[in-house]
Each structure stands twice: as C-alpha cells, then as structure tokens.
C-alpha cells in the first residue's frame, strides 16, 4: 500500500503537538470571543472574526505531514483536548472540530495540492472549515435564528478562515521551512535577495498577533472575567445593604412566570420558569435614594442595564437557578425587553 496512507512517528508527534496547542488555545480564543461580544453589546457572533484561529492548527498539520486523514485526526483530537480543558460548549465542540478537520482533508485531498501549497486551495480549506462552526452550532443550539444572520456570521467566519487558516498558515509553513524544521514544497524557492519584510513578513505578523493576543487575554481575565460556578450573586453598588444573594435563602418567595426567549441569536419556546423576583432581591439590598439603574453582569463580562423603577414594579422579571446557573428570565414578548436581556451565569448585580 502507498506510504501516503501511513503515519510516521514524526507525523503522529506533529498531530499530537498541534492538537494540544489548538485545543488549549481554542478555549482561550473562546474567552476572547466573549470579550468582543461584550464590547459590541451582543451575546453571540461578533467573535467569529477569530474563527480562523480554531482551524489554523488543522491546516498546519495537513500541510506539514502531507498525509491523508491528518486533518480529521487532528480535528478530533483537538476537540477532545478542548472539551477536557473546559470548553464551554461541551461535547458539541468535539463534533465541531471533527467536521472542521474533515473539510480541510476534503479540500486538500490531492497530494499535489498539499505539496504545492498554493494559496487558493489552502485559503478555501481554511475558510470553509472555519465557517462550518456557525452551521453546526445553529443545528445544536440556535434553532429559530434568522437565516440571514447565520449567513452573515458564516461569511465573517469564512473570511477569518481565509486569513488565519489559509494565508497565515502558509506563511508559517514557509518560515518553518526556511528554518529547516519541515520539508520543502515543490514551489519555487524564494530569492534570498528579497526585502527583509517579504522574507520574514510571516514571522513579524505572527509576533505582532501573539503580543496582541496575550495582551487582550490578560485584559479579559484581569478586568472582565469572573470565576464561574459560584452559588451566590453579589448585590452591590448604590445600596444600603450589600450582600450575596443565595437562592435557597429566598425560596419562600418563589414565583412561576410563563416566558419566551425570542432574540436575534437564539430562541426558546414559551414555558414556565421558577425563580425569585428581581424586585425582591433588590428590595433586600435597599437601593439608595437617587438610584435609577441596575446592571446584571455575567461571569464572562456580558451585562444588561435596566431601569430600576421598572424592575421594582414588575414581579415577572426573575432570577432562576437551574443546573447551578443563575439566569435572568423575562418574557421577551413584553414591551421594553428583548432576548438579549436573558443574562446567563450571573455573578453580580450593580445598582447605580
């Protein structure tokens, strides 16, 4: 049988290293996506411009080993690594990563395509692989989302895949080849008399990107991210009685509301929700005179602001506690509320 169907020890090590790097950093990229969502004020989607960072490792594995099936193997292993390192999407991330690997293998199937490292097929492989995550998540989580929004997010992810999964991965392979770390391609060798920024452009771009990536991540974890898994919500701000809200302490004041989540990103059909009215929680904190606003903030930094007087007069705005997750529930069919008001994994409520 042709040797191209066998994986050498070096190939296996390459797959293992890139899968580990990809799985670990994909968790990190997910947090940065939350940062982007917070900046633009949406619960999902804006971070798709970084989708190509999830597939760059798969494309690198295929381009370096030049073996069939390597993309699928790398995608599967990368997804498993991300799952066990705390990926927020559970086992679905394994399916997402596996499909990304399958698509890279399909587009770069021909040996000559992998060998020549031509820009168009590599960019297309990176683009379609990165875009696939949008449609897989749509199938699992976002039923009812407008098709036009899904297509827009898919296009954004596709563009990211072209840049990171295609162009940048090719530049990285060229740099590794020049350093003697991988075998050369059948492309014409580069002229050594080319300008410095041409010969080492990929290395410069990579360094700049890594610095930006690190600074952004450090900012997120230091200033925005809050540890999840807490059994309480900190009630703070312009109140006379700051305290940590614990659901069990208020169970006697539970109410049941019939609500529907209808947002631009996700949809949940109408059903009954049990929780504590936000007005009860705030009354216990005793807002100070002159306070007009409250902000409900999640562990990832996402938050929504509400009029204090409106909330205090509406006992159908509740905090539910399901599966260890504090969640703001409000019927999005009511005037003044939208699906984006359903803040998940709440850590803090500020009165101002």
With beta carbons less than 8 A apart as the criterion, state whether 31 and 220 touch.
yes
Domain residues of the chain, as ranges? 3-224, 233-351
Paired tokens of 64: 């370096």
| Higher per-residue pLDDT: 208 or 305 | 305
Q: Where does the pLDDT of residue 43 fall: very low under 50, low under 70, confident under 90, or very high at 90 and above?
A: very low
pLDDT given for residue 229 in this prediction: 47
Neighbours of 126 (CB within 10 A): 33
Q: What is the pLDDT of residues 287-334, one digit of tens each?
A: 999 999 999 988 766 778 899 999 999 889 999 998 778 999 988 778
Statement: the pTM of the whole predicted model exceeds 0.75? no
Q: Give the pLDDT score at 350.
A: 92
Quickly name the fold that domain 233-351 has: Sulfite Oxidase; Chain A, domain 2 (3.90.420)
Q: How large is the angle between the packed helices 70-84 and 92-107, nearest 10 degrees?
A: 160
CA angle 97, 100, 101 (to 5 degrees): 90
Q: Which residues contact 79 (CB under 8 A, 6 or more apart)?
A: 23, 93, 94, 95, 96, 97, 98
Helix (H, G, I), strand (E, B) or coil at 242: coil
Number of H helices, E strands in the chain: 12, 9
């Amino acid at each position: 049988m042709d040797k191209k169907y066998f994986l050498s020890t070096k190939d296996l090590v390459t797959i293992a290293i890139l899968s580990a790097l990809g799985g670990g950093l994909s968790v990190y990229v997910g947090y940065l996506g939350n940062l982007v969502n917070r900046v633009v004020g949406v619960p999902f989607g804006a971070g798709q411009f970084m989708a190509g960072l999830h597939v760059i490792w798969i494309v690198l594995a295929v381009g370096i080993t030049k073996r069939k099936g390597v993309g699928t193997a790398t995608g599967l292993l990368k997804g498993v690594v991300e799952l066990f390192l705390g990926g927020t999407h559970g086992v679905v991330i394994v399916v997402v990563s596996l499909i990304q690997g399958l698509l890279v293998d399909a587009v770069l199937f021909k040996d000559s395509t992998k060998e020549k490292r031509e820009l168009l097929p590599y960019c297309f492989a990176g683009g379609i692989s990165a875009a696939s995550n949008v449609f897989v998540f749509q199938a699992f989580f976002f039923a009812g989302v407008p098709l036009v929004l899904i297509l827009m997010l898919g296009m954004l992810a596709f563009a990211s895949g072209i840049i990171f999964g295609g162009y940048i991965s090719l530049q990285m392979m060229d740099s590794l080849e020049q350093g003697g770390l991988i075998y050369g391609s059948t492309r014409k060798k580069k002229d050594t008399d080319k300008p410095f920024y041409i010969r080492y452009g990929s290395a410069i771009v990579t360094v700049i990107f890594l610095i930006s990536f690190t600074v952004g991540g450090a900012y997120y974890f230091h200033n925005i991210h809050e540890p999840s898994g807490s059994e309480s919500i900190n009630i703070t701000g312009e109140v006379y009685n700051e305290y940590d809200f614990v659901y069990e302490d208020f169970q006697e004041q539970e109410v049941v509301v019939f609500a529907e989540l209808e947002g631009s990103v996700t949809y949940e059909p109408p059903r009954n929700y049990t929780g504590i009215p936000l007005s009860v929680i705030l009354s216990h904190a005793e807002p100070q005179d002159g306070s007009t606003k409250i902000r409900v903030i999640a562990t990832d930094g996402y938050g929504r602001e509400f009029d204090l007087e409106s909330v205090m007069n509406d006992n159908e705005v509740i905090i539910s506690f399901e599966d260890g997750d504090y969640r703001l529930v409000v019927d999005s069919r009511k005037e003044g509320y939208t699906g984006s008001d359903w803040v998940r994994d709440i850590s803090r409520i500020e009165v101002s």
